[in-house]
A and B are shown apart, each in its own frame.
Chain A
Amino acid sequence: DTGVSQDPRHKITKRGQNVTFRCDPISEHNRLYWYRQTLGQGPEFLTYFQNEAQLEKSRLLSDRFSAERPKGSFSTLEIQRTEQGDSAMYLCASSLLRTGNNGYTFGSGTRLTVV
């Protein structure tokens, strides 16, 4: 599969622990997005990068959340001091800048369960 890869697929963690997720976009895509999806809801935007620059962050992205894309390729999303409310599917997507909104491809997501 040469699409968007996310790792791990599932993560169970105890409340208060830190977790980190990884996203590998499609190689030629220079935009990378993070979304959060809770059960029965549509994906909610968290943040996006253009190359290595983080261009926008949602108000949903509290101080406990941090995302990086240091070399403009893969990205990591870290959640510190996890809370039960952080339990969700974390989706990554990538796209080509020049195609604007076209080419948006989602990864399979990382399902986080905080116990």
Chain B
Amino acid sequence: GENVEQHPSTLSVQEGDSAVIKCTYSDSASNYFPWYKQELGKRPQLIIDIRSNVGEKKDQRIAVTLNKTAKHFSLHITETQPEDSAVYFCAASTGNQFYFGTGTSLTVIP
């Protein structure tokens, strides 16, 4: 089955700096890669996603890149704000269920 690894497990940045979270996956059949933000005690919420036929996608301060050959994808958050502090999960899917990474706890220091 699919194995998704995520790094780093914790990340602290100064407000206004950029944050990068990286994930790798093992199943070359995976074709959909969402990123979720989860605040303490709340449900995971989709923040951005990318399909395997696209190399990069951007939505305001958030961008995701995908390298199918290397089987890795990354989340980039620019101009970080304190409200970006949360746990971020990457996931990979071949069409049905998601396989999630172990999460990155991001802290944005004001």
Q: Do A and B bind each other?
A: yes
Q: Which residues of A contact B (CB under 8 A)?
A: 33, 35, 40-45, 48, 55-56, 58, 91, 100-102, 104, 106-109
User: Which of B44, B96, B97, B99 is close to A106, meaning CB atoms less than 8 Å apart?
Assistant: B44
Q: CA of A48 to CA of B36 in the docked complex: distance in angstroms?
A: 19
* A-facing residues in B72-99 (Cβ within 8 Å): 89, 91, 93, 95-99
| B28 interface hit (Cβ, 8 Å) | no
User: Which of B32, B45, B100 is close to A42, meaning CB atoms less than 8 Å apart?
Assistant: B100
Closest CB in chain B relative to A60 CB, distance in Å: 11
| B61 interface hit (Cβ, 8 Å) | no
Nearest opposing residue in chain B for A103, CB measure: B46
User: Which of B34, B44, B95, B99 is close to A91, meaning CB atoms less than 8 Å apart?
Assistant: B44
We find that the number of chain B residues with CB closer than 8 angstroms to chain A is 23
Q: Which residues of B contact A (CB under 8 A)?
A: 4, 6, 32, 34, 36, 42-46, 49, 89, 91, 93, 95-103
Q: CA of A41 to CA of B97 in the docked complex: distance in angstroms?
A: 17
Chain A binding site: helix, strand, loop or mixed by DSSP?
loop
Closest CB in chain A relative to B27 CB, distance in Å: 13
Nearest opposing residue in chain B for A45, CB measure: B97
The 6 closest A-B pairs by CB, nearest first: A42-B100, A45-B97, A101-B32, A106-B43, A42-B89, A108-B43
Residues of A with C-beta under 8 A to B36: 106
Nearest opposing residue in chain B for A43, CB measure: B100
Are A108's CB and B42's CB within 8 A?
A: yes
Are B102's CB and A43's CB within 8 A?
A: no
Closest CB in chain A relative to B11 CB, distance in Å: 15
User: Which of A33, A42, A100 is close to B102, meaning CB atoms less than 8 Å apart?
Assistant: A42
